[in-house]
Structure 1
Amino acid sequence: MLALLLCFGLYKHKQNVVSHVRLRSTNQYPSDADPDSGRLFFGVPIFSYTELQGATNNFDPSNKLGDGGFGSVFYGKLQDGREVAVKHLFNHNYKRVEQFMTEVEILTRLRHRNLVCLYGCTSRQSCELLLVYEYIPNGTLASHLHGHSANPTLLTWLIRIKIAIEIASALAYLHASGIIHRDVKTNNILLDKNFCVKVADFGLSRLFPDDASHVFTTPQGTPGYLDPEYHYCFRLTDKSDVYSFGVVLMELISSMPAVDMRRNKDEIMLASLAVRKIQRNEFEELVDPCFGVEKDGEVKKKVFAVGELAFQCLQIDKEMRPSIDEVLEILRKIEGGKVEEEDKDTGKDGNGGEVSKNTADIQAQAMTSINFDQIRLFKSASSPNNMIQKWRNGKVDQAKLFSI
């Protein structure tokens, strides 16, 4: 009897704690008699389930904009004429409630032109967890790069570098606000009709303490974008978003998906493929042919400069990655044509011979700060220990750069 009483007491205590963040089901209140409708929740308007049901034509499948890991998104039109995207979260359970609360809390405190705007949500008593966003009509960046909307004539290099700058600007704003997105990927980057960026989906985001260098948390995110150090060590930092952004940069350069099971088993992850191509001085094979880099030296210079930046973001050791503020500054310089110049007339190839500025050998030098002797040393190293020791005797310890 004492054991039963103790178990019952613990159960009731847990229920009281969960009730602070959990939405109550409609067994208590019917959805069409929503007592909180018209009020505010975390500072945003509350919509009744009935109103959103009507706006989406009862969540008609023909209005579905897409599916994600946590729910489906439907197109809708409110009574005041506003076009909206309504996210319908799966599984009305504690985990989904937590993500729902996180997304509402974070988006209500943020105002940035490259972050999606939250119009409101359903109430605590609604039978479904629904978030109401501004409708972004041009789909995701993923669909334009390698999906059903892919069109090389529309997504030119000038537009792509502008997109990269706007994503970096949104992430810099988030980090300055003490927020780590934790799920940066091309499927979470929306584009309006002018190809302006709206970063979306903050269900996995984390508020970051001001005085902390990292937080320990179970790794969450999307395969292909997940920071390896976070994945293996459970240490989440702002550099985790930088790694994911590096993958996005490689997608912008190559138009390839971050994960593709049709590629060779050691090239399924775009990050691994990119590092391998750089190591072999074959980076140009990754560049989308639509850029015409073989005919346009200026575009070629900028593409390779962005590739170098992506390479820095993809380094395994987070301390060797730039901050998102540094990334943003570099991207703006590249867009403005302020790429660091090397010898205008000649350079040195891997054997010490002179080559012209526009040859393929110089491309690898534009890609990374690693010189040709170091790359050759990496290829010929007989053991990891020998390689690390030799690199430490060089200018910097860069052995970890390729260990992805």
Structure 2
Amino acid sequence: MHTLLLQSLFPLLLITSFLSINIELSLCQDNEQYTNCSEAINCGGIGGISYPFWGVNRANYCGLPGFEVKCLENAPIINMSNVNYRILKTNSSAPSVTVARQDYWGTLCPPTYVNTSINFSLFNYPSGLTNMTFYYACNTTITIPGLGDNYTSQVCSTNNGDITVWSFTQSLPVDLVATRVCAAGVSVPVFTTAAQALEANRTTIQEAVEEGFELGLEIDNVECNSCVESGGKCGVNATGGFSCFCLDQAYAAVCNATAPGAQGKKKEIAIGLAVGGAILFGIFIGFYIYSFIQRKKKKLAALAQSKEIPTPLTSKSVATPSTNLSQSQSIPSYPSFTSKSDYDKGSTYFGVQVFSYTELEEATENFNPAKELGDGGFGTVYYGKLQDGRVVAVKRLYENNFKRVEQFMNEVEILTRLEHRNLVKLYGCTSRRSRELLLVYEYIPNGTVADHLHGKRVESGFLSWPVRLSIAIETADALAFLHRNDVIHRDVKTNNILIDNDFCVKVADFGLSRLFPNDVTHVSTAPQGTPGYVDPEYYQCYQLTDKSDVYSFGVVLIELISSLQAVDTNRHRHDINLANMAINKIQNHLVNELVDPLLEFETNHVVRGMATAVAELAFRCLQQERDMRPTMDEVLDGLRAIQNEDLGSEDGQAVVLDIRADDVGLLRNMPPPLSPDSAGTDKLVSSSTPPSSF
């Protein structure tokens, strides 16, 4: 009777447990942004780094653009004007942050001589600081009248031999670099108290520099304080505006204490956990009793059966139990490695070569900083050369935790399953059990699209309109291919679009990508991506679809047209987000103010017609509601049609695009435009702007 009772109660208890767990998960799901932004950055023993800073363990929506922190060399680092600064402490009440030059940490002999330069749109210099000046490779016989003893000198060893560095805590009457007395000069701020202690011989130059200097934060801390006082956590929304993440949901300013379910959220979760725990404990006890009874019954049955057998079975008569192959094959598992010999035999992982950590360490010269090709949100990429002579790019993930392993395996699986001429090729990786997670790609030598539009390669050569349109088409081709194979990239941006020496596209970085079931309309997941590119509907509703990539690609199209960054805090507050800026310009017929002047939009009719058509296509991609956006296949068809528009032109004059006409290739198989009515490209251009001189 006890057995029958347990057998009848066990399924009921199991169902109740699952329901309880699902209730707890549903209670917590809405609070993911609140939970993520509750954690402060902790790196190298420096903790408490929170809003407006983000990075490491804090999602990008937990801070403001320009305040990204990375954990490098066991120190929290923020980069300004290509100079790394080590964060020493933060003061949220000021608000301010104390930083020190990373290249001067532990040495006064940096590899390069760069002045301290801050982003004044994000930071300011408060009072109480003194500039310390370092002069390098000076004439050691220099004399400066009236200077006194307020300087010191020491010798730095460099590849070019030993040089002398002179350190001054007072302003000099002459510029020793301008007068060619010294080869280089660098200014580093220090606290005035440290400079005074140095002059009194109570400290050393190195200690004064490593004490750092304070920077004030150019942010409105009032709204964040109000949010925190209401029980929320500060962050930003998809358009870059302030958002207060609360237990129940996100609000524009402060948490709404009267919102349904807000007050009792913690209590409900606690009750749910308690009830769930009690049920699980009951199930465990019940299952233990049930198992004990079953074992006893089997033992009695076996004993009774043994009495009926006159002689014991011989070894030859014992039947070998059959193996249930179907059952064993139904359990999925990731490839793993059990011995060192696997590496020596050239193991494969998801079908690609597995490299040892030592092999990749040698290929990159022990991850030499001089070999860095770039870094992103998840890792640093290094130039490397394998033993077989192949030139490769090696991505070294920042951390080796569960989340990074998941992203690592995700990228390996996607890139080995899919092959396309415009997707970066994966050569191999380390084992997920390696001391570090490393991915090995084909080396793409010409940087990223972002580099050429507004980055470090912008001076190397101007991207002409045909090249930009070709980049857009090849990127759209790659994304359409991914979508046809049920993959959503989820981090489409110009920094993830590589180009080779022939300016052919290679889409990269699939760490955030998702394999998308073909029998559902969306998957629910916490928003991830890069500020300025994230689909606003995905951000608000947590529903990821292939149209999320379409939105991000719309931002890329605007970048190709304008050469502007997706987010730039130096622009007017209404134009910080490029997508918002573009929508506003297009709606007000001001496409000419959006297009890069170097493209000769005003004087070249071909460029004018095609760029306007691309702007219109980007406008549709940037619609707030995903159902109003085209698919990537439709976008690809539209771009190819735009590229072919000038084939029928006469005397080099492009056919004027009537964006309402049925025969225009741009609108073929697409929904009607959501931008203002227009009879032709001219209506989307301000007539008040004089023609460009280009």
Distance 1:219 1:110 in 2: 24
Q: 270-279 vs 167-176, which deviates more? A: 270-279
CA gap of 1:36–1:231, structure 2 versus 1, over 3 A, is same
RMSD of Structure 2 on Structure 1 (CA): 2.6
CA gap of 1:89–1:102, structure 2 versus 1, over 3 A, is same
Which residue does the alignment assign to 2:533?
Answer: 225
Q: 1:267 aligned to 2:575? A: yes
Q: Are the aligned partners of 2:645 and 2:655 in contact in 1 as well (CA < 8 Å)?
A: no
Secondary structure of 2:383's aligned partner: strand
More strand by share: 2
Which residue does the alignment assign to 1:371?
Answer: 677
Code of the aligned partner of 1:370: P
Q: How does 1:2-401 map to 2 (within 5 A)?
A: 35-37=342-344, 38-151=346-459, 153-337=461-645, 341=656, 369-371=675-677
Distance 1:280 1:328 in 2: 26
1:199 to partner: Cα distance: 0.1
Code of the aligned partner of 1:159: V
CA gap of 1:44–1:145, structure 2 versus 1, over 3 A, is same
1:277 to partner: Cα distance: 1.3
1:22 to partner: Cα distance: 11
Give CA deviations for 1:91-127 in whole Å, capped at 9, x if unaligned: 1100000000100011101110000000000014311
Distance 2:585 2:658 in 1: 24
Give CA deviations for 1:135-191 in whole Å, capped at 9, x if unaligned: 000001000000111149531000000000000000010000100000000000000
Give ranges in structure 1 of 5+ residues lacking alignment.
Answer: 10-19, 345-366, 374-404
Code of the aligned partner of 1:267: D
1:323 to partner: Cα distance: 0.4
Q: Are the aligned partners of 1:121 and 1:130 in contact in 2 as well (CA < 8 Å)?
A: yes
Distance 2:399 2:461 in 1: 41
Q: Are the aligned partners of 2:407 and 2:511 in contact in 1 as well (CA < 8 Å)?
A: yes
Q: Are the aligned partners of 1:72 and 1:87 in contact in 2 as well (CA < 8 Å)?
A: yes
Code of the aligned partner of 1:40: T
1:294 to partner: Cα distance: 1.3
Distance 1:59 1:34 in 2: 25
Code of the aligned partner of 1:335: Q
Code of the aligned partner of 1:172: A
1:85 to partner: Cα distance: 0.3
Higher relative contact order (CA 8 A, sep 6+): 1
Distance 2:509 2:542 in 1: 22
Distance 2:678 2:617 in 1: 18
Q: Are the aligned partners of 2:392 and 2:443 in contact in 1 as well (CA < 8 Å)?
A: yes
Code of the aligned partner of 2:676: I
Distance 2:446 2:593 in 1: 29
Secondary structure of 1:266's aligned partner: coil
Q: What is the TM-score normalised by the length of structure 1?
A: 0.77
Q: Are the aligned partners of 1:140 and 1:187 in contact in 2 as well (CA < 8 Å)?
A: yes
Give CA deviations for 1:283-324 in whole Å, capped at 9, x if unaligned: 211100111121111110000000000001000011110000
Q: Are the aligned partners of 2:411 and 2:509 in contact in 1 as well (CA < 8 Å)?
A: yes
1:23 to partner: Cα distance: 8.3
Q: Are the aligned partners of 1:36 and 1:123 in contact in 2 as well (CA < 8 Å)?
A: no
Distance 2:573 2:334 in 1: 43
Which residue does the alignment assign to 1:388?
Answer: none
1:21 to partner: Cα distance: 6.3
CA gap of 1:131–1:343, structure 2 versus 1, over 3 A, is closer
1:192 to partner: Cα distance: 0.2
Which residue does the alignment assign to 1:359?
Answer: none
Distance 1:140 1:155 in 2: 12
Code of the aligned partner of 1:52: L
Secondary structure of 1:245's aligned partner: helix
More helix by share: 1
Q: What is the TM-score normalised by the length of structure 2?
A: 0.46
Q: Are the aligned partners of 1:34 and 1:48 in contact in 2 as well (CA < 8 Å)?
A: no
Which residue does the alignment assign to 1:394?
Answer: none
Distance 2:381 2:607 in 1: 37
Distance 1:368 1:177 in 2: 29
Secondary structure of 2:582's aligned partner: helix
Q: Are the aligned partners of 1:34 and 1:125 in contact in 2 as well (CA < 8 Å)?
A: no
Distance 1:72 1:258 in 2: 22
Distance 1:221 1:22 in 2: 28
Code of the aligned partner of 1:73: V
CA gap of 1:342–1:162, structure 2 versus 1, over 3 A, is closer
Number of equivalent positions: 332
Give ranges in structure 2 of 5+ residues lacking alignment.
Answer: 1-276, 285-332, 647-653, 660-672, 680-694
Distance 1:91 1:326 in 2: 39
Secondary structure of 1:195's aligned partner: coil
Code of the aligned partner of 2:381: V
Q: Are the aligned partners of 2:587 and 2:676 in contact in 1 as well (CA < 8 Å)?
A: no
Distance 2:462 2:478 in 1: 23
Q: 304-313 vs 281-290, which deviates more? A: 281-290
Code of the aligned partner of 1:246: G
Secondary structure of 1:190's aligned partner: strand
Distance 1:93 1:278 in 2: 45
1:279 to partner: Cα distance: 2.5
Distance 1:292 1:275 in 2: 21
1:267 to partner: Cα distance: 1.1
1:90 to partner: Cα distance: 1.0
Secondary structure of 1:294's aligned partner: coil
Q: Are the aligned partners of 1:34 and 1:126 in contact in 2 as well (CA < 8 Å)?
A: no
1:372 to partner: Cα distance: 6.5
Distance 2:657 2:482 in 1: 35
Give CA deviations for 1:349-382 in whole Å, capped at 9, x if unaligned: xxxxxxxxxxxxxxxxxx9652269xxxxxxxxx
**Hey, which bits of structure 1, 4+ residues long, moved more than 2 A?**
20-24, 33-37, 151-154, 338-344, 367-370
Secondary structure of 2:458's aligned partner: coil
Bigger Cα Rg: 2
Q: Are the aligned partners of 1:139 and 1:191 in contact in 2 as well (CA < 8 Å)?
A: yes
Distance 1:204 1:242 in 2: 16
Q: Are the aligned partners of 2:490 and 2:512 in contact in 1 as well (CA < 8 Å)?
A: yes
CA gap of 1:203–1:226, structure 2 versus 1, over 3 A, is same
